[in-house]
Amino acid sequence: MDLTPPRLLDDHPDTSREALQALAPGFVYCNVAGSGPTFPIAQRAAERARAWLSEVGMFSHVGYDAYNAWLADARADIAALLGDAGGASRIALMTSATEGLNTMALGLRLPPGSLIATTAEEHGSALMPLHRRRERGDRLRIVRHETDAQLLGDLRRAFADGARALVMSLVSCKSGNVLPVGEACALARAAGAVSVVDAAQALGQIPVDVRALGADAVVTLGHKWLHGPLATGAVWVRDVELFSSERIGWRSQSTFDVDAGYTLQPDATRFEAGTIDAAAFVGLRQAIAVHRAFGDAVPRRIAALRGRLLERVARLGVPLRSRPAEPTGIVVLLPEGGDAAGIVTRMWTADRVVVKHLAEKGVVADGIRVSFWALHTDDDIDRVAASLAARLAVAA
């Protein structure tokens, strides 16, 4: 039996819509901000890796060598995608952005009772661990986003009041707006505070450069805009000593002695705890290869689709929570008659159109999020707009 790992990745992937479309025909899926779906080529790469690893035994000599090599390659590719070529040692692999946000937020090394600043635009996966810190004695200041200037002014006051950390999204999952993260991280740095950026809704649709952002940690994932497999994510960490390792396991250790205890890995892999699906990260590497092949075609296509959707929504007179000029594939609508949840349900049951209902007290009272990507067609956008028009009329 040949135990050599098979060739897993296609370095020159077919980037046609037909090759990359995973969805069955018959419906329009506009919830990319929730999940991709996975490119078929990425899924096949993961399945090939998983099948071979099962054949040779994951923890056999050849299996374990491949397992570690695949994870090392994934760290290198993710670092390069984040603008830190050669920065694999600053990458910790995660199973999701939720895991990454918990790892970084709960691991912030801060004095007891510290003030932490964040925004109301954050996903619950960021806000929940921050509330957990508040339960443990820290203080939390949640800033609203009306304008960039107002947000930065409120953050400036938070740092003047002694805030020791900032947790903030690059792209809001509740509006699709790009938040002024670079400026906010600069304020944090000037105040001696630690900054954690959630790039889950950014990577794959707009450029993410960790150095330009000036953050101390950047959290992301693979299954949304990258269209990689589920259970893939990562954290980029500028200085591992700014964060404690709240969860530790065999992959966190550099040395271990039953009596003397352990020492942690010197780099970001100290934040990796246990066994993960290395084959899924092979699939993520294939998805990243697709993005390299796309180049700047993705943002140009998203901009065209956004313009088309906004033109049609304007005819309907539906107010937006999203700023029209944003470069993202997320548009949040605020139906004036209410019943956004009912409209979303009827768009699916009557028209087979998938969009998401947003409702969060104090942020989005009753909204509809439409999220689309470069694989969507003009006809897809027209079908979403037509469905929205028909279901708004029913609601009225």
Helix axes 378-395, 340-351, angle to 10 degrees: 120
175 CB neighbour count, 10 Å cutoff: 25
Q: Which residues pair with 312 in a beta bridge?
A: none
Alpha-carbon torsion 158, 159, 163, 168, what sign? positive
What does CATH list as the number for 65-291?
3.40.640.10
2 pLDDT tier (thresholds 50, 70, 90): confident
**Separation CA 118–CA 108 (nearest Å):** 14
245-269 residues labelled b (16+ CB within 10 A) or e (exposed) = beebeebbbeeeeeeeeeebbebbb
- Mean pLDDT along residues 85-113: 98
pLDDT digits (tens, 9 = 90+) for 272-290: 999 999 999 999 999 999 9
| C-alpha pair distances (Å), 350 with each of 27, 269, 370, 387 | 11, 48, 17, 8
Q: Please give the Cα distance from 54 to 41 (Å, whole number).
A: 20
Tens-place pLDDT, residues 303-355: 999 999 999 999 999 999 999 999 999 999 999 888 999 999 999 999 999 99
- Among residues 78, 33, 95, 39, the alpha carbon closest in space to that of 294 is found at 39
> What are the tens digits of pLDDT across the range 229-246?
999 999 999 999 999 999
3-30 mean pLDDT: 94
3-state DSSP assignment of residue 93: strand
Domain spans of the chain? Answer: 65-291, 297-395
Closest CA to 160 of 193, 131, 138, 136: 193
- Residue 283: what pLDDT? 98
pLDDT at 5: 84
Which three-class secondary structure state does DSSP give residue 95?
coil
pLDDT at 262 over 80: yes
pLDDT of residue 395: 54
Q: Does 4 score more than 90 pLDDT?
A: no
Contact 93, 67 (CB under 8 A): no
What tens digit of pLDDT does each residue of 161-197 get? Answer: 999 999 999 999 999 999 999 999 999 999 999 999 9
Burial class (CB within 10 angstroms; exposed 0-12, middle 13-18, buried 19+) of 75: buried
Q: What does the pLDDT read at residue 394?
A: 63
Instruction: Determine the average pLDDT of the residues in 87-111.
Output: 98
The domain defined by 297-395 folds into Aspartate Aminotransferase, domain 1 (3.90.1150)
Pairwise CA distance, residues 158 & 231, whole Å: 35
**Residue 396, pLDDT above cutoff 60:** no
Query: Per the structure block, which two tokens stand in for 144?
Result: 């609203």
Q: Are strands 217-221 and 194-198 parallel, antiparallel or unpaired?
A: parallel
Looking up tokens 């003030």 gives 115
Q: Is the dihedral of CA 124, 129, 133, 136 positive or negative?
A: positive
